[in-house]
C-alpha cells in the first residue's frame, strides 16, 4: 500500500518533485492554454502581449485585434498606431505594437508567413524572448519546453526546487527534476496552482496544501527572489 503524503520524507528535491508532479496532475487533469488563440501566429501575438499583463486582459483585447488582422499579411496592412490603439490596455505601448508589426513583416519576408518552429528563429523576432518562444514551441508545436513565469519562479522557490538565483537557473533546475514528457502540461499546472492556491499574497510558503504537505514544520515565510 502506498504511503500517504503525511508519512513521506520530502527532504530530497527529487521526492518533492515527484509528489508535486502527481498532485498537480490530480488537481488539473486538463491543461487548456489560458490565452485565447486559433493558431501558432495568434498564440505568438497573445503571448507577446501577456508580458507584464494578465491573461484575462489579453483575452479581452485580442478579439478586436484579430478581427482586423489574424495573419501576418493582414497585420502588416495596419499601422503601428492602429495596432497600438487596440493593444494599449495590455501595457508597454507602443513597444508591443511595434514588435507585432515588425515580426509580422519578418514572417512574410523570411518565413513564408509561417511561425518558425525553432527557438533560435523565434527568439530572433522583435519582442520575442526565451519565455515567449518556449510557450509557442510547447503549446503550438508540442516541443517539450518549460517556460518560467512569475508564478513558476515563485513556487519553485517555495517548494525548494531551485535557489531562485535567476529565471534561467529555475528553468534549468525544473527541467532536471521533471520528466521531459511532462514539461508542457506541468508548467501550465504550476501556473494554475500558483494563481488559485499559492498566490503571491495569500500564501507565503506556509499556507497552501502543497506547501504545508512538503514543509509541515516550516514556520517562517519564504522570501521570493525576483
Residue 2 is predicted with a pLDDT of 41
Residues 54-90, buried b or exposed e (16+ Cβ, 10 A)?
A: ebeebbebbeebbeebbebeebbebebebbbebbeeb
Residue where a domain stops, chosen among 111, 139, 167:
139
Residue ranges of the chain whose pLDDT lies below 50: 1-3
HSE-up of residue 52 (Cα within 13 Å, Cβ side): 9
Catalytic residues: 131, 149
Is 102 found in the same domain as 14?
no
Is 126 found in the same domain as 57?
yes
Range of the domain at 179: 5-31+146-214
Contacts of 168 (CB under 8 A, 6+ apart): 130
Report the alpha-carbon distance of residue 23 to residue 119 in Å, rounded: 30
Residue where a domain stops, chosen among 139, 157, 175:
139
Contacts of 66 (CB under 8 A, 6+ apart): 38, 42, 45
Residue 168 lies in a domain: yes
Is 105 found in the same domain as 26?
no
State the CB neighbour count (10 A cutoff) for residue 142: 9
**Total number of domains constituting the chain:** 2
Residue 89 is predicted with a pLDDT of 97
Q: Please provide the size of the chain in residues.
A: 226
Instruction: Output the domain CATH number for residue 171.
Output: 1.10.1670.10
Q: Residues 13-29: pLDDT tens digits? A: 999 999 999 999 999 99
Residue 154 lies in a domain: yes
Residue 113 is predicted with a pLDDT of 97
Residue 7 is predicted with a pLDDT of 56
Amino acid at each position: 500500500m502506498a504511503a500517504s503524503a503525511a508519512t513521506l520524507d520530502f527532504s530530497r528535491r527529487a521526492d518533492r518533485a515527484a509528489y508535486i508532479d502527481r498532485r498537480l496532475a490530480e488537481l488539473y487533469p486538463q491543461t487548456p492554454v489560458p490565452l485565447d488563440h486559433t493558431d501558432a501566429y495568434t498564440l505568438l501575438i497573445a503571448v507577446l502581449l501577456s508580458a507584464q499583463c494578465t491573461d484575462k486582459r489579453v483575452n479581452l483585447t485580442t478579439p478586436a485585434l484579430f478581427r482586423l488582422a489574424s495573419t501576418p499579411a493582414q497585420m502588416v496592412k495596419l499601422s503601428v498606431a492602429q495596432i497600438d490603439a487596440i493593444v494599449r490596455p495590455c501595457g508597454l505601448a507602443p513597444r508591443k505594437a511595434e514588435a507585432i508589426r515588425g515580426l509580422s513583416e519578418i514572417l512574410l519576408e523570411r518565413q513564408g508567413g509561417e511561425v518558425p518552429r525553432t527557438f533560435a528563429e523565434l527568439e530572433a523576432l522583435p519582442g520575442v524572448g526565451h519565455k515567449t518562444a518556449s510557450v509557442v514551441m510547447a503549446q503550438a508545436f508540442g516541443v517539450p519546453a518549460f517556460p518560467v513565469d512569475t508564478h513558476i519562479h515563485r513556487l519553485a522557490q517555495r517548494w525548494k526546487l531551485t535557489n531562485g538565483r535567476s529565471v534561467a537557473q529555475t528553468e534549468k533546475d525544473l527541467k532536471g527534476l521533471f520528466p521531459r514528457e511532462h514539461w508542457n502540461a506541468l508548467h501550465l499546472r504550476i501556473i494554475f496552482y500558483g494563481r488559485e492556491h499559492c498566490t503571491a499574497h495569500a500564501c507565503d510558503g506556509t499556507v497552501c496544501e502543497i506547501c504545508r504537505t512538503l514543509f509541515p514544520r516550516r514556520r517562517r515565510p519564504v522570501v521570493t527572489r525576483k
